[in-house]
A and B are shown apart, each in its own frame.
Chain A
Amino acid sequence: MKKFTTVLKFELKEYLGNKTFMILTVLLAALGAILLFLPRFVDMSGFTGVTVMEKETSGDEEKAEEEKDLFLYLDQSAIVREEVLEAVFPEVKWQKAADEAEVIAAVESQEAEAGFVVTGPGSYEYYVFNKTMADHNTAGFDQAMKAFYRMDTCEKNGWDLEEIAAMYDIPVTVTENVLNKDSESNYWYCYFLVILVFMLIVYYGQMIAVSVTNEKSNRAIEVLVTSTSPNSLLFGKVIAGAIAGVFQMGVVLGAVLIAYQMNREQWGGMLDMLLHIPGEVLLAFAFFGLGGYLFYAFLYGAMGALVSKTEDISKSVSGLMMVIMIVYFFSLLQLTNIDGEIIRVLSFLPVSSYSTMFARIAMGTVAPWEIILSFLILAVSTGAAGILGAKIYRMGTLRYGNPIKITTALKSLKKSE
């Protein structure tokens, strides 16, 4: 145990004393926090729907009035109402034209931004000098034309437009009472956290494998295996890599969650679906996500011991990577069928429970015994992966040259037992 602690400390220092690692951690955390603080300092109302910046003075408003775009209209069917146009186009200054030639001339000379000639109750012509991609004037004018028609028809028949509008647009109030899980709102947390733990496994798992292989390629292993047991070495290395990964991910995620919490109002709660994660979901993530991460970290460590050069690692971990990818896609696909049989089975397998059981806890119906059983299976499997990893590590550490196939390694272990 003492030797394990010595290895753990030394390996942790390797990560935490690495300038690139620490700078990357701080940079990612700062970048995430800065992005979430943006709405406090920059008007992002167009994106967030929340206006945070104070409006300027009334003088500026008058100035804004002068700066409004000029649109001309010609009403050939006596149907247009200017108050409707002003309501639909608040940023536009409307001017009535005497004839169609005036409309065309004003647009051609770019005195006016656009011109409309209403030729009938349901038809009009639109004049613009250059039509841009963002030109939505006809959509707005269509809406205004419909309003003109309704108002005109109601007036001619003596109907009350407001009464008719109220009849069609009756407001409906709904109060949702979700008694267990709200899958719709929890879906995105789960999606986000499944991706997060997948990244954690793949990125840091690879780092752990590289760290194990490096000791073979620089031959430090020759001295190490004669100084302590392979168990202390592998457990120390893997757990140090796991801690470093959790530390980096924790700092970045922590900074993002805190920054969002502080600026939630400014964001209008629009990122709640990703970043306002309930405590129990985070707790399930901590147990299952980290358990799965550790399970795979040991296997990555063992795969690293099977090769002598870092360039061979990708070949060595390809089988493991395939399992991780299949589990990842299955987990994401099954999120929409959270109480289905497939996800139920997957939630008990140690290769997939890290994402599926925690998704079931967040979104579906799951009995406490199922959670306990699944976690026990994961914990025992993680321990077994550690012991198997250490055996492969012991067998593979002093074998240099060509990469050892995992099947060969397992056969060799079986034979030696």
Chain B
Amino acid sequence: MRLEVKDIRKSFGEKEVLHGVNFQVVSGKALGLLGRNGAGKTTTIRILMDVFHADKGEILLDGRKFNPAKHQIGYLPEERGLYPKRTVMDQMIYLATLRGMKTAEAKGSAAKWLERLEVSEYADRKLETLSKGNQQKVQLAATLVCNPEIVILDEPFSGLDPVNSQILKDVVNELIADNRLVIFSSHQMSYVEEFCDNIAIIDHGQVVLAGELKEIKREYGRNRLILATQDDSLEALAEKTEKEWGELVSISGRKKEFLILELREGTDRKDFMERLVRSDVEVEKFGSYEPSLNDIFVSKVGEEG
């Protein structure tokens, strides 16, 4: 399956909050939908789920207009919520039957997912009596109880300890391996890097960066180098770089242990290496810069905030 979101626009009152959102996601490959708070991720997801209607644009599934009511969708919202005073099993069955399952089938599926997420012993307990982590796992079980073809997970790891995070990681990997279409929204970039082949970064209601994560990283690392010396502090090194090699490179960032340099146009890596060798600095670290998703995210949306 290929889900395409094309030029989605949405206004609340006079204010346009989405200014033409575009991205696509295919089965068996997760998409990381990223953005700062208030960027428009949740509104986009709600339009996708037909909770809000878009003012313009379209959503296509395999080239045809997407109708969420005709597909099983599992949605884990960022704002978690089930019924605190009802039993776990009761609400699992309720949500499954609301999504079209028969009661017997819903019971079986609920039992399966509670077992998989290691919370089956709480099936007959009221939700409010469970710990926050277990409530979170029940919420995920409720998302998956209808065996969805499309899974939308909004901050699924928040509130989970490392052991529970591992269980959830395994489940997400299984979903991807099972050829489900997964949209994964999170601020924890390490998880996105772990699961997602593609990303879309939304900022102020528009997609500012989208594509294959590997390619994006390669593109961001191109013409960028890292440099650290043994004797100079980073401040001293930065000063020296600007003074002595300023016509070859510019400083594009700094980390705790090294500077990130960008080659100026017309300069190649070899030119800069030669100048370095000729200088009196003792190089400690030198190489190609491999940006993390966090770096890409911050460089793309961080400055404006």
Contacts and interface: CB of A to CB of B under 8 A. Distances in A.
Contacts, number: 52
Interface string A70-88: 0000000000000000000
Contact of B82 (A7, A14, A223, A398): A223
Contact of B79 (A3, A7, A13, A222): A222
B75 A226 contact: yes
Given A218-B83, A220-B83, A223-B142, A398 B75 contact: no
B79 A6 contact: no
Contacts of A398: 46, 51-52
A224 B73 CA distance: 12
Interface string B262-273: 000000000000
Interface of A (DSSP majority class): helix
Interface string B221-251: 0000000000000000000000000000000
Nearest to A225: B51
Contacts of B51: 225-226, 398
Contact of A226 (B73, B80, B84): B73
Nearest to B146: A227
B98 A224 contact: yes
B49 A223 contact: no
A14 B91 CA distance: 11
Interface string A318-341: 000000000000000000000000
Interface string A213-235: 00100111111111110000000
Interface in B80-107: 80-84, 86, 90, 94-95, 97-99
A126 interface: no
A221 B86 CA distance: 15
A7 B83 CA distance: 13
Interface string B17-40: 000000000000000000000000
Nearest to A14: B86
Contacts of A21: none
A220 B81 contact: yes
Interface in B257-291: none
Interface in A1-57: 3, 6-7, 10, 13-14
A221 B81 contact: yes
Given A3-B98, A6-B97, A7-B98, A226 B82 contact: no
A223 B95 CA distance: 8
B77 interface: yes
Interface string B182-219: 00000000000000000000000000000000000000
Contacts of B99: 227
How many interface residues does chain B have, given as a range?
20 to 34
B98 A218 contact: no
A219 B97 CA distance: 19
A10 B95 CA distance: 10
Contacts of A224: 98
A379 B191 CA distance: 55
Nearest to A7: B98
A295 to B, nearest CB: 27
A224 B99 CA distance: 10
Residue of A219, A225, A227 with most chain B CB atoms under a 10 A cut-off = A227
A222 B49 CA distance: 11
B81 A218 contact: yes
Contacts of B77: 219, 222-223, 226
Interface in B91-129: 94-95, 97-99
A393 to B, nearest CB: 12
Contacts of A10: 90, 94
Given A226-B75, A398-B46, A6 B98 contact: yes
A82 to B, nearest CB: 76
B98 A228 contact: yes
Interface in B6-64: 13, 46, 49-52
Residue of B81, B82, B90 with most chain A CB atoms under a 10 A cut-off = B81
A3 B94 CA distance: 10
A215 B86 CA distance: 12
Given A222-B77, A223-B82, A226-B73, 7 more contacts: A7-B98, A220-B81, A220-B83, A222-B81, A398-B46, A398-B52, A412-B13
Interface of B: 13, 46, 49-52, 68, 73, 75, 77, 79-84, 86, 90, 94-95, 97-99, 142-143
Interface of A: 3, 6-7, 10, 13-14, 215, 218-228, 398, 412
17 contacts: A10-B90, A218-B82, A218-B83, A219-B81, A220-B81, A222-B77, A222-B79, A223-B75, A223-B95, A223-B143, A224-B98, A225-B49, A226-B49, A226-B50, A227-B95, A227-B98, A398-B46
